[in-house]
Chain A
């Protein structure tokens, strides 16, 4: 290995050349700069949290959160219950379709067909929610004749949430280690037995993460709801009833009123959504770290 450009070991200086020292200095500057840039990046979020909290908190009371009286314009009880009911059913539908679709794609479809299905799901995720809203309007409200109703909102929102659940379910099952899958099938498990007994316990935390993320995204959506439901002053009585969603209240209160009281209510609704989204994200964190510990060793 005689090579003139490589200095012999005897000539190496451990205090470094000027060039090396400059590089190390630059390295340190970048090391300081990165946290700073991180701060710049999260500044908008912090200011948003502050802005919303400052307007929502002073007048936020237990009555505001719980009163469902149709005669009050300063209470959130009806939209909170409405949001809860819409989210509950929409999540159930999204889990039903997303989970079965994801498992079918990961385990049963040929690579070719699965590729097409995955591409469609990705397209759906990338579709602006207003378009999903129009789809819901034309399909559920008009074509199915459900009118602007609770049920039309539920179906449209679940349509919006399904691809998120689908993608994580698909990914969770395809990322089960191949040798584990083969061992189960190699012991004579039918595909359904493999999915229930081995695949699901391994994929579960990831799927749960996907469901919670879909909920966090769904609860903040406006367009699919605004276009398929109409706000009401009562909690929904039947599936065709009007229903108020929190984001819808924000939209209506800002778009249709100049009254500062209604705008404060909108900020309070925004504050609630913010808290729910942050809480869902924390739950996701907790779940995945807890289960990662439990499945440790599986991927070794």
Chain B
């Protein structure tokens, strides 16, 4: 799996979003967003409720199409290939660009089978599955807690463990991009901390896109911050720059908590 098509420019962005507009019945949810995601980075997408940040992250693996009535314009290039291009199968896109949601979404099956879910979909042979599941659980920081009982129902895990299992499930197919939509908003502080340290380890080798409403979380784990407001990208840059020296008054108002 490591021999996957290397991009035309090895240091170019893994994901490049160009003029992305999402429209729902006349209302623009996203308005001309253009943004690059360089390799080995964690970009936090922040903004007030309803700014379109969840919709934004859902456009990055074409999950947005599961919501009827939304129209997507513009394009998203994944290592040079437009995922909205003609003939592109969204199912195949989602197999390569995984997503973790606000609430843990474990399936009613064993811990092992949950982590193996994506691999089963593409009919990987058993020995590949075994190895990839172990590796994914290690990378998600869950291995030591579950290695004794991989056959236990995943529903018996705690919320924080379930969320790391969901991260492992997305990692098992060895993706170059992992999308996280407020992955800690349903977790207690201790579980949040463990998920955050998992994210910090993962950003050493893949692209993470983290949607969060929590500015201090963005400050703790991200390299870059993108601030969305009313569907428009207001500002993007290195975390310290955006949070400490915002250029736009809207950004400043947001991070100083003047609107929620």
Interface residues of A (CB under 8 A from B): 111, 179-180, 182-190, 193, 197-198, 201-202, 294-298, 300
Contacts and interface: CB of A to CB of B under 8 A. Distances in A.
Contacts of A111: 68
Q: Which DSSP category, helix, strand, loop or mixed, fits chain A's interface? A: helix
13 contacts: A179-B103, A182-B63, A182-B105, A183-B105, A186-B99, A188-B92, A188-B94, A188-B121, A189-B91, A197-B107, A294-B108, A294-B155, A298-B106
Given A183-B166, A188-B91, A190-B91, A298 B121 contact: no
Of A183, A184, A295, A297, most buried by chain B (CB within 10 Å of CB) is A183
B169 interface: yes
B101 A197 contact: no
Contacts of B109: 197, 201
Contacts of A201: 107-109
Contacts of B156: 297
Identify the 5 closest CB pairs spanning chains A and B, nearest first. Answer: A188-B95, A183-B105, A188-B94, A297-B155, A186-B99
Interface residues of B, number: 33
Interface string B103-146: 10111110000000110111000000000000000000000000
Contacts of B94: 185-188
A295 B121 CA distance: 23
B42 interface: no
B121 A193 contact: yes
Contacts of B155: 294-298
Contact of B105 (A179, A294, A296): A179
B61 interface: yes
Of B101, B103, B105, B117, most buried by chain A (CB within 10 Å of CB) is B105
B183 interface: no
B108 A187 contact: no
A139 to B, nearest CB: 37
B69 to A, nearest CB: 10
